[in-house]
A and B are shown apart, each in its own frame.
Chain A
Amino acid sequence: MSVDLTEKRYQKLVRTRTPSDCLKFFVGMDNKERRRFAAVAQTTYRLVDAEWRNDRGQKTPLLGKPFHEQVNNARVGLVATATLGELKKLRWHQVPTDGFVVDIVRELRPPWVNAWVQHLSETEPFAYNDIRQLIDAGLCQKPSGDAYIIGMIEGLPGWRGRASPWDRDIPLAERIRAMPDIATEDVWRLFDIEGTRDASLSSYDKYIGGKIGHWSGALLELSNDGTLSRDRLLTASLDALARDFAQYRSGWFSRFHEALQPTLEERAARADQYRHLLGSTIPPTVAFALQALTKLEKAAMFVTDDSPQSLAPALQARAKSTVVAALSLLNKTAKRRPAQAAAIKQLSVAALIHERADVQAKALDLIDTLGGVDNDELAASVNAYANGIAPSLHERFNAMIGAEASFAAVPDQSASSAVPVVKAIEPITAFDDMHREFREVLEEPNEPLRVERLLDGLARCGADRPSDFTKTMGPLRKRAHAIVKRQAGDSLQLQLARLALAFASDARSITDSSHDTIDTWLAQTTVDQHNGQYSFAVCFARRSEQLLRRVRLGNRVGMLSAPTDSRGYVDAAVLLSRYTDYVDNGLAVCPIDMTLALLRLAPENRSAMASHDPSNDEFVQAIAFACGRDLPIGQTGWLWVAASCARTPYAPIPAVAAAFGMGLPDAGEHAAYDVRCARAKYMSWHWLTVTPTISHNVPSNYVATLFHLSNASKHNSALMCGFGINMVRWCGTIWPLQLDAFFSHGVCHSSPTERVANSAIIGFLEPLLEAHVPVGAMGCTLIILNLASIDPAEKSVALEALIAAVDDERLDMRSLQRALITLFEHEHIPLGRWTKALTDLSRLSTKHAEAARELIEGCLDHDPAASPRGIGGLLELLYELSIATDTPPSKPSALAYLAAVTGGGKLKKFSAKLLALSTASNDGP
């Protein structure tokens, strides 16, 4: 038969018949013949598949079978004629459905079946059911390797796989009973294999099992009816725990072990396994083993091995309950086997590493119970832990070792304190330097002052084009083009890329699109391309566009707003000098540049400018006004609003407010902030209100006021500072003299209960690290909010900001206390997070301990009945800090709070202790 005729016949079969008919077509052929037909099979498949894709909405073509059936028919040919190499390249959706693979293998007996099945088991999580059918039909060997078993976790219950031979209604246990090899072999391999992030016993039982049956339930049922050995299950689950699987996945095995409800005899028989698990690297596994051993101990069935050493890892666990249980077990062991008392005493010293005072006290209790510190070696061991011993235990500790312990001297302040060093920023004056800086800043625009210096350099020397400008600019142009084309990532990088592209392109077109010219870019800079609304990214773009126009006209003048020192300020004299250059050259100045220059006016050297003759130029008058000179308000609203912000950032200027303020915050009238928390049935959140409230559109040149657009309706304030941390960092340089507006934006968008990669909140927190930045109400709120963040990056920067603020004495303690009291109301933030953060703070130095103590004491001015959960932990810390700093509570509000505490628990316990401290202090020595 000629190939042409066969091809037509085959295609007709594919179009009009069933998979069985297609398979029959190949049955008579040997391997060679089938291979000759492979090209036809592949072409046919591609053809019908393309038709199906193009006519998705049409279920049935004009001729032949429905499209999906034609495609399935073509898949038969694809598999029947393929080599092993080709099969390995096939995607799973290209293999025939409805278990027809079994028919193909049965009829054609291809030589590659075992290798293909092995490959499928390793690469295709959906293939388990098809593989299983082949195995059951005796057509292939069972695949080796872990992947087959992992496929079984979701495949056997019928959750994954398109050709399940089992009805999902059939319980998992029944399926296992029906396939003896699974009960005798495969099930036991489940205990050897960890699984993956996608498929594991833990994730299956948690997320899927509820719908079609848990693995644990099925195995328990099979254990109860004797299909699976209970003894073996108990041992295998402990063996699995010994393999140090990831915590989440190992949890299934400990839960399953307990679900088997082992008797005390069964536990006793496995005491060695439990003991070995105490050395696990997985903390819950250690806790699990300890619980099992404690049960045996209670029943007097636990006989320790020749040494209690196996409990050593449990004594150094992070979980308090684990350490306490281990100490308790050691105590009981020592009572029963007095000969081991000395070894146990030595061992229990290790528990002193725990950070909690009550755990340390229990360790000291055990040492005391066993005879105390009675030799030099033990004394040295105990003394080695002196540094971390809680202040309330110092006296007892000293008495125990019979000497003054070597508690480390606490420095007065941490090493993080820094004397503010103000460095002048040297402008870029050479084209090559600017070009190199542009390439580097474009890659990492994470230093906003470097970005500003670059823009200033571009303004100064961008017109000094070298002769080979086009060639030299090639790499920058190409890179900028790639960033602009991607249209993703950081707003600041995108803005810089657009600027680079426009600068480096000779033609007016700045991208591939003929519509994307500098002119259209200008038109687009009334709104942010990212979010379709006004934002600081637009301010940046408008200033850049004006800058570029001047460069293209051959002008060489720097930016007015380029910071002159490392704090981000512009020196007043330098500003006037720069402005004079503009005037002398007859150049117009970008309003955004003028506004930013005023907002960045340095607090120093103003008096000289205030006495300078302001002439008739309105901008010079505005500078003089900003520097403190009393002048009549001019005509240009945005200029005088900016000048008023620069003049007195924390006090109103009624004349400006009346003339141009329009009732807007930070437009002649200082913004006031109020943070509140709200609770609903399942939610709790914080929000910020700013007064005066924005009731209408904000003029785009009222830059300081733009921070408060969060108050305006129909405005997504989350986008005001653009996308990404670098744009946020740049926004932090807009008004360096008064960062509360910027911090308030950070407060609005902090979400301590969320973890995000590359959190932009860090950009809001970073200025708080600087020694020249005062930490006011909004700064305090931002710190307190993020001290409780679950994101380690946000939390660590907030803590560092607090450390630095204490060191540099920039902290407004009353604001910090108010922020903490307000956020006590946030139900989704456990108080323990602040307790932990303040503990970390207090360990640094006496000064920090005192700050933490003062903060906590200041927060005790509410009704104890309304105290949030976990306040007892905070009181415990206050108690330790009161002893450490030798400053008992003395504020009347705090004492009233402590006296009013009723009930029991830690709150009552430490209230009483604190009151006793206070009373003792008042009574004197």
Chain B
Amino acid sequence: MASIDHVYRYAQPSTLEKSGAAPTLRLVAQSQASDSQRYFVGRLNQPLVAALGLRAVSNLVGTRFYIPPNMRARLIAEADPVVTVSAGRVRFEGFSACCSAYVRHDLAADSFEAEHIQPGTTNVDFGTDMRAALATVRTNDALHLAVDEQAVELATATESVIERKVPLPLRWIRGFAEVQSHLVGMAHSTTLKTIDAQRFLRAVPRAQADHEQWLVTTGRSVRLSPRARKDAVMVRGTQRLRVLEPLVAAARALEIWFNDEQRSSAWVLNFGTQRLTLVLNSEPWRGFSGDGQVLTDVTASQAATVAAVTAQLAWQSDIDSNALSGATGFDSDAVTAALSTLAAQGHVGFDLATQRYFHRVLPFDLGLIERLNPRLKSAQTLHDSGAVTLRATDSGYSADVRSDSVVHRIDIDPTGARCTCPWYAKHQGRRGPCKHILATQLAIDAQ
């Protein structure tokens, strides 16, 4: 599995400091080469919810829901959550180690009283000790939150600097981009009140349940049924929902969203001013990174619009595409397509609650998303080697793509793209275009 050695460098570990009238949750951000950064200082209004949410994010990041049969159990070098601070939101997000589940805890402006905000995206040190410390937070505690690098005063002693080299799988990084396309395509399915949500989650088997199940409303309850139903939410690997169980009692409601095409689901715990979003891919053994929905966006040629939209990004917590359209002079569709491309590159995320994108720049080498995508690389190789024979048809294009010893036939028309390869036969485009379709698109772009 391709990975990069990502070095997390922190001036000191994150702590929950209990001195003074109110404890302070000091999340230490990754040290930059430049001057130390102070992202956020403020007071949380619902400390217990924030603590539960952060524990959930941290727990999920350290969990592997699926272990391939031939994989030797080894220490999971935990990646740290990514935090994005903007004027209107503080967001913590991360993936499970198996990349099949994504979690984000959003703190809206009403949930904190900020003393200092410096927009930015960074990693924060978040280990088991931090989780243990958060378990001590109670409802009635006042809690301050600080997200900063602490490099100036506290970490002058070099020995206190923490460096953790974590082999971050590229799929983990690619997932950040891929999950946005899942979120964009989601429709609201149902909302459960707190107690109904609790009952539902308590009825979910604790054991691993990887078979297909559909969420159905039956009489006075919501339950999971193994029978396929039209317009119902499909979920596999329901053990992943256990992440929500410790939080649900504190929530106002559980909103359930479903992407019918990609069969992924989002489970949003609404706490009023805070929201925890858990996104599950359709199969627990399938990482978001392998879906390749973003590949079409990455290959799409809309450089001018993307550049214009990028110039307008300034850590907005809600990006208004109409306003962007006015500012850039491009029409709304072009702006939306550009935002989709930027999401594919990891520059923006998507918020289900507001149905809008938000700006954040992931603290990783984002070029890797594009450069090292195996399907895109294979497509580029096919294109560069002249394996694509393109023909224009009445409705679009037809192409023969020679790959290994066989020739695949690709048809692209306004209804979509089709290929004769096994990948397409199996997934029918639900997991993004195959390398042959991508190679054909590259050939069309090159014309």
Contact = CB atoms under 8 A, between A and B. Distances in A.
Given A150-B75, A281-B59, A316 B249 contact: yes
A410 B218 CA distance: 10
B420 interface: yes
A489 to B, nearest CB: 14
Interface in B187-206: 195-196, 198-199, 202-203, 205
Contacts of A243: 128-129, 131-132
Contacts of A409: 220
A800 B226 contact: yes
A512 B407 CA distance: 20
Interface residues of B, number: 56
A127 to B, nearest CB: 14
Contacts of A443: 422, 425-426
Contacts of B422: 439, 442-443, 475, 479
B140 A414 contact: no
A415 B209 contact: no
A366 to B, nearest CB: 18
Interface in A144-192: 146-147, 150, 192
Contact of B406 (A239, A385, A478, A840): A478
Given A388-B199, A769-B227, A411 B219 contact: yes
A444 B226 contact: no
B159 to A, nearest CB: 12
Given A279-B135, A316-B198, A475 B426 contact: no
B263 to A, nearest CB: 14
B246 A281 contact: yes
Interface string B111-145: 00000000000000000110110011011100000
A529 to B, nearest CB: 23
Nearest to B239: A792
Interface string A245-287: 1000000000000000000000000000000110111000000
A307 B139 CA distance: 10
A439 B198 CA distance: 44
Contact of B218 (A197, A307, A762, A844): A844
Nearest to B247: A281
Interface string B166-206: 00000000000000000000000000000110110011010
Nearest to A280: B135
Contacts of B74: 196, 198
Given A416-B218, A416-B225, A844-B218, A312 B249 contact: yes
A444 B426 contact: yes
Contacts of A477: 406
B251 interface: no
Contacts of B224: 796
Nearest to B246: A281
A797 B227 CA distance: 8
Contacts of A804: 227
Contacts of A746: none
B219 A414 contact: yes
B216 interface: yes
B384 to A, nearest CB: 22
Given A196-B75, A410-B220, A796 B226 contact: yes
Contacts of B245: 281
B211 interface: yes
A198 B406 contact: no
A318 interface: yes
Given A281-B246, A355-B202, A244 B55 contact: yes
A239 B130 CA distance: 12
Q: Which of B198, B218, B246 has the most CB of A within 10 A?
A: B218
B375 interface: no
B405 A478 contact: yes
Contacts of B302: none
Interface in B395-447: 404-409, 420-422, 425-426, 428
A277 B135 CA distance: 8
A440 interface: yes
B136 A147 contact: no
B129 A474 contact: no
A415 B59 contact: no
B152 interface: no
Given A440-B425, A474-B406, A353 B199 contact: yes
B73 interface: yes
Given A243-B129, A472-B409, A796-B211, A309 B139 contact: yes
Contact of B136 (A276, A316, A793): A276
Given A408-B219, A797-B226, A843-B221, A439 B136 contact: no
B51 to A, nearest CB: 9
A310 interface: yes
B207 interface: yes
B425 A194 contact: no
B59 A244 contact: yes
B301 interface: no
Interface string A577-621: 000000000000000000000000000000000000000000000
Q: Which of B211, B224, B405 has the most CB of A within 10 A?
A: B211
A509 interface: no
A387 interface: yes
Contacts of B73: 196-198
Contacts of B209: 792-793, 796
Nearest to A278: B135
Nearest to A354: B202
B312 to A, nearest CB: 42
A415 B215 CA distance: 12
Given A196-B74, A388-B199, A439 B211 contact: no
Nearest to B220: A408
Contacts of B198: 316, 353
Contact of B407 (A306, A318, A474): A474
Contacts of B205: 792
Q: Which of B76, B209, B225, B409 has the most CB of A within 10 A?
A: B225
B55 A800 contact: no
A773 interface: no
B211 A793 contact: yes
B381 interface: no
Contacts of B249: 312, 316, 350
26 contacts: A147-B75, A150-B75, A196-B75, A245-B128, A276-B136, A281-B55, A307-B140, A309-B138, A310-B138, A355-B202, A409-B220, A410-B220, A416-B225, A439-B420, A440-B428, A474-B406, A474-B408, A475-B406, A475-B420, A476-B420, A478-B405, A479-B422, A479-B425, A762-B211, A769-B227, A792-B207
Interface of A: 122, 146-147, 150, 192, 194, 196-198, 239, 242-245, 276-277, 279-281, 306-307, 309-310, 312-313, 316, 318, 350, 353, 355, 384-385, 387-388, 408-411, 414-416, 439-440, 442-444, 471-472, 474-479, 755, 757, 762, 769, 790, 792-793, 796-797, 800, 804, 840, 843-845
- Give the 5 A-B CB pairs with smallest separation, nearest first: A197-B73, A474-B406, A408-B220, A793-B211, A242-B132
Given A242-B132, A280-B135, A415-B218, 17 more contacts: A150-B75, A192-B129, A194-B128, A242-B131, A242-B135, A281-B55, A281-B245, A306-B140, A387-B199, A415-B216, A416-B216, A440-B425, A472-B409, A475-B407, A475-B408, A475-B421, A479-B422
